[in-house]
Structure 1
Amino acid sequence: MRAHRSTLSKVERALRAADLPPLEWYDVLLELERGGPLRPRDLQDRLLLAQYNLSRLIDRMASAGVVERERCSEDARCQWVRATPKGEALRKSMWPIYAGAIREAVQSKLTPSQARQIGDLLERLSSCPATCG
């Protein structure tokens, strides 16, 4: 947990220094790129955010013009969230900063072989269903 917090803190600082939005914006935009448009509850499941946090985050992102909401045709209570072209461009501009901060945090402490091993282990753990272990 300490390593996770430390690394994310470095990523957040790098994004802030580049005058980019917080990492959570990247995560939302990435999930919308991977599977969008998505309903807020689907985003919530993918990002593991509390509903009220996600609602406020989507509000801020919509105000900035990087996501937009659209009502579902089959259910008036439902809405879809999609990335706008501006949002897609923003996510792409955030990636080099994000990746560089991760590289810096990992390369300074691990050999390439150790980094690959940890990556393989984390991939295995992240693909484990919630019911395992």
Structure 2
Amino acid sequence: MTETKVSAGTGETSADVREWRQLLARHADLTCALDRELQSGHGLGMSEYEVLERLAELPNQSAKVQQIAGSVHLSQSALSRVIGRLESAGLVERNMCPEDRRAVSVCMTDKGLHRQTEARPTHQRVLAERLHAPLTKTCDPTD
């Protein structure tokens, strides 16, 4: 077994670590800005918008929960909470999947499609502003 020496207190940070930290900072900045703008303008969190957007992209605006989970990068429990909030707001409906009685499908309502369509320009604007601008500071959720 080879031993890796760790040099603590040298003040040196590898290029990979610096790049990783920049990526994390950009992600935090985008997430915060999207949450703030989507919530204030449309009553949606970023994760809620992402679920609606994925459903809106499908021909029948419906998918199994497992299918959604693979595209929105949320844990099963976090996705379940997001879907629950969307369902309470009347933006989606949950149903047993007719082909597989063990699966649950989520279908966007007309109200959900309308809300997602209204929120799309906000989502696109924030992405355009934040992705193509230099990162100056991370977003403060209280701003």
**Same fold by TM-score greater than 0.5:** yes
User: 1:60 Cα deviation (Å)?
Assistant: 1.1
Structure 1 counterpart of 2:96, from 71, 74, 93: 71
Q: Does 1:101 align with 2:126?
A: yes
* Aligned residue in 2 for 1:12: 35
- TM-score calculated relative to the size of structure 1: 0.73
Q: 1:36-88, CA deviations, whole angstroms, 9 ceiling, x for partnerless residues?
A: 41111111111121111111111111111100112222332222111111000
User: 1:14 Cα deviation (Å)?
Assistant: 1.5
User: 1:109 Cα deviation (Å)?
Assistant: 3.0
Q: Does 1:80 align with 2:105?
A: yes
Unmatched runs of 5 consecutive residues or more in structure 1: 111-133
Amino acid at match of 1:31: R
Structure 2 counterpart of 1:89, from 91, 94, 114: 114
Q: Give the 3-state SS of the residue equivalent to 2:93 in structure 1.
A: strand
Maintained 8 Å contact 1:28/1:43: yes
Stretches of 4+ aligned residues off by more than 6 angstroms: none
Larger relative contact order (Cα-Cα within 8 Å, sequence gap ≥ 6)? 2
* Aligned residue in 2 for 1:25: 48
Unmatched runs of 5 consecutive residues or more in structure 2: 1-23, 136-143
Q: Please tell me whether Structure 1 or Structure 2 has the larger radius of gyration of its CA atoms.
A: 2
* Aligned residue in 2 for 1:48: 73
- TM-score calculated relative to the size of structure 2: 0.69
Maintained 8 Å contact 1:12/1:23: yes
* C-alpha distance 39-19 of structure 1, shift in aligned 2 (>3 A): closer
Q: Give the 3-state SS of the residue equivalent to 1:58 in structure 2.
A: helix
Maintained 8 Å contact 2:64/2:97: no
* C-alpha distance 70-102 of structure 1, shift in aligned 2 (>3 A): same
Q: Give the 3-state SS of the residue equivalent to 1:38 in structure 2.
A: strand
1: CA distance, partners of 2:103 / 2:28: 34
